[in-house]
Amino acid sequence: MKKICVIKGDGIGPEIIDEALKVLKVVRNDLEFNECLMGGIAIDTVGECLPQATLDCALSSDAVLFGAIGGEKWDNLAREKRPESALLKLRSSLGVFANLRPAKVYNDLLSLSSLKDEIVKDVDLLVVRELTGGIYFSQPRYKNENEACNTMKYTKEEIYRIAKIAFECALKRRKKLCMVDKANVLETSALWRELCSELSKEYPSVELSFMYVDNAAMQLIKNPRQFDVILTENLFGDILSDEASMVVGSIGLLASASIGGKVGLYEPIHGSAPDIAGKFIANPIATILSAALMLRYSLNDEDNALKIENAVARVIKDGYGCADMSFVKHKLNTKEMGDLIAKLCVQ
């Protein structure tokens, strides 16, 4: 049996995770799901946002499947006590330094994008973002009445390990890797370039290119189809991965994987959507696709990952969608969408 730590969380979290579990149970019968508390519900139930029992379960599992946490009710707590801080702590405890965010456009859903159809058609890219280093974590950092300071620091090891993951991803895709940086200004970027160039010798079939981040922000809007895998550091990746998501359009369709550590963490890119929680209209597709990434990256089960991804593509092609996909022919609620995808997975 493979052990999956399941964190449903707050808001729409339980609704969307239930549908992902439904689909996983259809494709695999050897998964043991252990439900754990985290976020606002954990604060209300046991008094802390990331209970030790949840951390222990996550660290002793084969993967963590996560819904979403947070909500207005807990917004006034001190920063370190808020649900969102639990997620940062979970990520750092798992040691997941690589965040993978696929942005694939469904050609039957081109109008979800704010860009023109001819620009977004066939876009299929993957942003690989460094997640545990750089300016969000480096010292010194401080703020006083006269000045404030943050530091962007990377070690060779930190760059090398994420670059290796990006090369491996490119190898399994269209074999194009674009490293995005600011090497004309930043020493850290210069080191990233040196190490990526060195590593590229081990991956002769992968075409490596470099792009300045300001240009990359423009190119993502102008011609996103040119990208296959984008590799970048933490701050640039934070911004570019959100921009890439918007090329696709709906937030309810986008999955993410955080890997590289002891245990991988899989979650939709959206939050707990308190405005629609409890109505069972949330789109579970992002979470179901996150479950597919979990099978691919943590359980090495490409066949079933593809089975789920193909079922989602088929549902969309046949004109089914949820409330967030305004123009689709057949509107389904959260459970109906999960049922349909699960059914197509076994056909």
Show binding-site residues.
Answer: 71-84, 91, 101, 129, 214, 238, 242, 271-283
Say if strands 330-331 and 98-104 run parallel, antiparallel, or are unpaired.
Answer: unpaired
Q: What is the 3-state secondary structure (H, E, C) of 118-161?
A: HHHCCCEEEEEEECCCHHHCCCCCEECCCCEECCCCCCHHHHHH
**Quick one: which of 96, 131, 282, 328 contacts ligand NAD (CB under 6 A)?**
282
Residues 26-65 touching ligand NAD, rule: CB under 6 A, are: none
User: Binding-site residues for NAD(+), please?
Assistant: 71-84, 271-283
Is residue 298 at the binding interface for ligand NAD, with CB under 6 A as the rule?
no
18 is catalytic: no
Is residue 275 at the binding interface for ligand NAD, with CB under 6 A as the rule?
yes
Is residue 101 at the binding interface for ligand NAD, with CB under 6 A as the rule?
no
108 is catalytic: no
**Quick one: which of 35, 48, 84, 336 contacts ligand NAD (CB under 6 A)?**
84
Number of residues that bind ligand NAD (CB under 6 A): 22
Q: Which stretch binds ligand NAD (CB under 6 A): 124-132, 200-208, 273-281, 309-317?
A: 273-281
CB-CB neighbours of 75 under 10 Å: 11
**Quick one: which of 283, 290, 298, 304 contacts ligand NAD (CB under 6 A)?**
283
Nearest to 67 by CA among 312, 324, 290: 290
Rank residues 70 and 260 by Cβ distance to ligand NAD and give the closer one: 70
Q: How far is CA 79 from CA 61, 67, 83, 289, in A?
A: 28, 21, 9, 30
Q: Which stretch binds ligand NAD (CB under 6 A): 134-142, 177-185, 232-240, 269-277?
A: 269-277
Instruction: In angstroms, give the least distance from the CB of 146 to ligand NAD.
Output: 31
242 is catalytic: yes
Q: Which stretch binds ligand NAD (CB under 6 A): 67-75, 154-162, 169-177, 189-197?
A: 67-75
Q: Alpha helix locations (H) across 260-333?
A: 285-297, 302-317
Q: Is 112 exposed, middle or buried (0-12, 13-18, 19+ CB in 10 A)?
A: buried
Rank residues 158 and 267 by Cβ distance to ligand NAD and give the closer one: 267
Strands (E) in the chain, as ranges, are 2-9, 31-36, 63-68, 98-104, 124-130, 142-143, 148-149, 176-181, 207-212, 229-232, 255-259, 264-268, 320-321, 330-331
Q: Which of 117, 142, 214, 343 is catalytic?
A: 214
Rank residues 226 and 333 by Cβ distance to ligand NAD and give the closer one: 333
Backbone angles phi, psi at 296, to 5 degrees: -65, -50
Q: Extract the tokens encoding 268.
A: 């939709």
Q: How far is CA 135 from CA 234, 237, 238, 301, in A?
A: 7, 12, 11, 35
339 is catalytic: no
297 is catalytic: no
User: Tokens 């308190």 sit at which residue?
Assistant: 274
Q: Which of 182, 297, 307, 320 is catalytic?
A: 182
Measured distance CA(252)–CA(249) in Å, rounded: 9
Measured distance CA(111)–CA(179) in Å, rounded: 29
Q: Which of 10, 18, 228, 238 is catalytic?
A: 238
Instruction: In angstroms, give the least distance from the CB of 17 to ligand NAD.
Output: 11
**Quick one: which of 252, 264, 321, 338 contacts ligand NAD (CB under 6 A)?**
252
**Quick one: which of 36, 37, 42, 71 contacts ligand NAD (CB under 6 A)?**
71
Is residue 336 at the binding interface for ligand NAD, with CB under 6 A as the rule?
no
What residues make contact with ligand NAD under the rule CB under 6 A? 12, 16, 68-71, 84, 87, 251-252, 267, 270-276, 282-283, 286, 324
Q: Which residues are known catalytic residues?
A: 136, 182, 214, 238, 242
